[in-house]
Amino acid sequence: MTKKRRDQSFTLTQEEVNKQAKELINNIIISDVKIHAKNESQKKLIKTINEKEITICAGPPGCGKTIVSLAMALSLIKKDDNNYRKIYLIKSVTTLKGEEVGFLKGDLSEKIEPFMWSFILNVDKLISEHEIKSLFDSDIIRPFPLAYIRGTTLDNAIIIIDEAQNITIDNARTILTRIGQNSKMILLGDTNQIDLKNKNESSLDILIKMFDNSDKIGVVKMDTSDTSIRNPIINYIEDTYNKYFQELEKEGKSAKRNLLYG
């Protein structure tokens, strides 16, 4: 790059920077990203994301909270009437109890890739594999390790945090205060799937109680009636699990083994 071109690159206005970013995004995302709400809760989630800077959504697997949020993010960064230029994907790396994988080899992106599959499998339903690869390669979609978020400010972006139930309330505060200018933040989770050793440290329930009546932060609560997009047998499994543990609580038994073996 010549000195003249370097000087020009440093004198671009914000409008010009945004225009270049939007051109790149729209050259990559050629698919028509359509958002079809399947129920009232999904309609509320779409409306809340559109209207609020920060959205907190809790619901069981299969209610569509992740795919709706990703579809909204892709739709928003394609639009020319805003300055959104990136999608940050953040996820707790807390694993299923007893399923820890130990030390992962590779650079940072390789270490966090396995934790991003829930995002990637949902994006794959919205746009082509080539588009996904191009968005990641061009850094428009960027996985962001939770461990490195302190001290950052995320401007001009849609920030999606999944598995929020596995983020402690102190870490949730750190995350929420990372939102920068012209950004939206979406926290997703399921209060029945907490993998933290101390479940009382989970942030999701607390955040819902704190901000449920806020006019600045939106809260969307989904339940099993919103899970029409998943295999019906999952509702049966969830209901059976819930009844099992409710009976355990009634009998004052804390160990699952007690109920199984007397």
More confident: 116 or 138: 138
For the chain, percent of residues with pLDDT exceeding 70: 82
Buried b (16+ CB within 10 A) or exposed e, 184-204: bbbbbbbbeebbbeeeeebbb
Per-residue pLDDT tens over the stretch 36-63: 888 999 999 999 999 999 999 999 888 8
Question: Are residues 175 and 150 in contact, defined by beta-carbon separation less than 8 angstroms?
Answer: no
| Residue 241: strand, helix, or coil | helix
Closest CA to 134 of 144, 123, 118: 123
What does the alpha-carbon distance between residue 229 and residue 38 come to, in Å, rounded to a whole number? 8
> Which residues are CB-contacts of 168 (< 8 A; sequence separation ≥ 6)?
196, 201, 202, 203
More confident: 218 or 253: 218
Phi-psi region of 30 (alpha: psi -120 to 50; beta: other; left: phi over 0): alpha
Statement: residue 87 has pLDDT above 60: yes
Per-residue pLDDT tens over the stretch 197-210: 888 889 999 999 99
Question: Are residues 146 and 154 in contact, defined by beta-carbon separation less than 8 angstroms?
Answer: no
CATH 3.40.710.10 fits 20-229, yes or no: no
| Residue-range domain boundaries for the chain | 20-229, 231-262
| pLDDT, position 113 | 64
| pLDDT, position 93 | 65
Report how far Cα 86 is from the mean position of its chain's Cα atoms.
14
The phi, psi pair for 22, rounded to 5°, reads -65, -35
| pLDDT, position 97 | 44
The model's confidence at residue 261, banded by pLDDT at 50, 70 and 90, is very low
The model's confidence at residue 112, banded by pLDDT at 50, 70 and 90, is low
**pLDDT mean over 177-193:** 94
Residue 103, classified by CB atoms within 10 Å of its CB into exposed (0-12), middle (13-18) or buried (19+), is exposed
